[in-house]
Chains A and B, each alone.
Chain A
């Protein structure tokens, strides 16, 4: 879609400096960018007369990271495998509702199981439609999203259920300046990182996303891999729904769609250097991407910039970042 079509097919150029610089690795780049944005934000906010590194502000930044982070980590799994999930926003809404209602009438533990089971089922459905019916992932997950949306609209008109105080601690407790929910994100991200780097499934996910045909010829069960990636993604989304339920205290039908978690998560993944076509990237970069977005948000809040202006900057940042990756990509291997 992007390469310059005219260059003759060339043997791959030998790079004398193999892995010359880890600095050009997008995952590192995006963390440096996050650092730069943070420092810049600190400078600007301080000049403006505020305090950026206040305890309160750090808490806000970090808890803002959690929900988007969980979704984006899941999204990383599907995108790496060469697929995509647009149903996440509705799954979040439904997840919070199921969580809050089950908790109101039953146990917290049961609710968690329910939400994860629901998520796994949705992920399974997504994966099976994509691999079995061979429907393009974009359409398939859009379709499941619609189905979930109808379910929500038919059964709920507004917030429902109630989350007990005990579970709300997940959303509000913190250790020092660090909300406990951050540990949830870190744990999920770490788990997925280990999975991607150190398990056969992870290797097969990279392979399937990189070149499905080659992976199949090498004996990889590519369909199964895609299905599992979708299940993993939805489980992460379920975790995000649980977190949001605890944060909001009730089930919120539109918690996912209002924050645009579908598109935002894809943006964060791509910002983190994962290639939209699959096969390259990782969780670390995604977390960096999420952090950049959260810090930007916080800076604008502190400067009391119009909230809508944030969207503008966000759009520009995402496009600019990917344009940068595209440039670099073209210089190494065409």
Chain B
């Protein structure tokens, strides 16, 4: 049995151990991602040409951002099913705003959308914590409300278009080669990573692990969770700006994205119910999902069968993760530290 004196040495781990620790529970997803990226390289040798690869990252950006937001909510022990509706609403609202104020600056509209996303998240959070409605239901209701409200407002079919200035974030490039979407994705990812290493992130994950323990340690559990919902709403709004940028206005803009985001997060080894998993792995899950879509496209799998393959892979990945890794982990940990009493 080691004592803390020995533990001190383990305390400054070799870099690879530190990386392993940072990657945490997500180990399988990185394997999956590597396999998919290799397969992409084999299928399409040109895939790793800079501009094509950047284009891939650009396409993945909205899902990655959504996954980061969804991760925050899931790791705190909740769900956010409203993000797809927020994306749709964001795109449609932007078009409507431009319909009314054609001269509006893109930054103003973008900020307005982010603010709107924050407000939706705030409402989700308040209802789920203060009124103690399970968040599955809260955000499901919010999804119905948002979709209904947007279409009610637009009279059933969204119209209008988005000016180039606004769409630049989704499809433009910085310095002529770096898509803004990639920058946005990096920024959001970096922010989420930093957040999870901060005190807030640690208390968030502890809240998802044991609400009572957190509350008795002085964590304001309601507030922490509300913040997670707000951030998820903001992330969804940002995704809306990107999606609006490269796909334009559509009533289907965000349909199904909530499930894709949750799938990505779970693929990253994050436990539904909270308390375990890393945000980097969740984002890697999103990349994996996007890589999978791309690969299926390249393989000439009809767009149709895509979801079948996706379904199998998701079940298999999660099933494998649930079974083998927990068992391995237990074996590694169980001997001298004492049997869990």
| Chain A in direct contact with chain B (Cβ < 8 angstroms) | yes
Contacts from A to B (Cβ < 8 Å) = 1-3, 5-6, 86, 129, 133-136, 138-140, 142-155, 263, 266-267, 270, 276-277, 306-316, 318-319, 322-323, 326-327, 330
Interface size class of B (residues with CB under 8 A): 35 or more
Q: Is the CB of A150 within 8 A of B307?
A: yes
Judge if B311 is at the interface, Cβ distance under 8 Å. Answer: yes
Return B96 CB to nearest CB of chain A, in Å.
14
CB of A139 within 8 A of CB of B148, answer: no
> Contacts A154-B302, A314-B144 known; A139 to B312 CB distance under 8 Å?
no
Q: Select B141's contact among A129, A138, A155, A316, beta carbons within 8 Å.
A: A316
Residue of A nearest to B79 (CB): A138
- Residues in B neighbouring A316, C-beta threshold 8 A: 141, 145
> Which DSSP category, helix, strand, loop or mixed, fits chain A's interface?
helix
Q: Which residue of A lies closest to B255 (CB)?
A: A257
8 Å CB contact of A311 from B132, B133, B148, B307: B148
For the complex with contacts A135-B315, A306-B155, 6 further pairs of A-B residues with Cβ separation under 8 Å are A2-B134, A148-B308, A266-B140, A276-B134, A309-B148, A313-B148
A154-B304 contact, Cβ under 8 Å, with A134-B323, A139-B318, A316-B141: yes
The answer to whether residues A308 and B315 also contact, given A5-B211, A315-B141 and a CB cut-off of 8 A, is: no
Q: Are A326 and B262 in contact (CB under 8 A)?
A: no
Q: CA A177 – CA B21 in complex, angstroms? A: 66
What are 25 residue pairs bridging A and B, where the CB atoms are less than 8 Å apart in the complex? A2-B133, A6-B215, A129-B319, A133-B315, A135-B315, A138-B262, A143-B315, A145-B311, A146-B311, A147-B307, A148-B311, A151-B308, A153-B302, A153-B304, A154-B302, A154-B305, A276-B134, A308-B149, A309-B148, A311-B147, A312-B148, A314-B148, A315-B144, A315-B145, A327-B132
Q: Would you call B53 an interface residue if the criterion is a C-beta within 8 Å of the partner chain's C-beta atoms?
A: no
Least CB distance from B113 to A in Å reads 20
Residues of A within 8 A of B212 (CB): 5-6
Q: Known contacts A149-B308, A153-B305, A319-B127: does B140 contact A263 (CB below 8 Å)?
A: yes
Within the complex, what minimum Cβ distance (angstroms) separates B319 from chain A? 3
Q: Across the interface, name the chain A residue whose C-beta is closest to B147.
A: A311
State the CA gap A318–B152 with chains docked (Å): 19
A140→B183 CA distance, assembly (Å): 34
Task: Give the secondary structure class of B's interface.
Answer: helix
Q: Which residue of chain B has the shortest Cβ distance to A129 in the bound complex? A: B315
Contacts of B305 in A (CB 8 A): 150, 153-154
CB distance from B19 to the nearest CB of A (A): 27
CB-CB < 8 A to A1: which residues of B? Answer: 77-78, 134-135, 211
A86 to B259, CA, bound (A): 10
Tell me the bound Cα distance from A326 to B127 in angstroms: 11
Q: Which residue of A lies closest to B311 (CB)?
A: A146
Chain B residue numbers with a CB within 8 Å of A142 are 259, 262-263, 311, 314
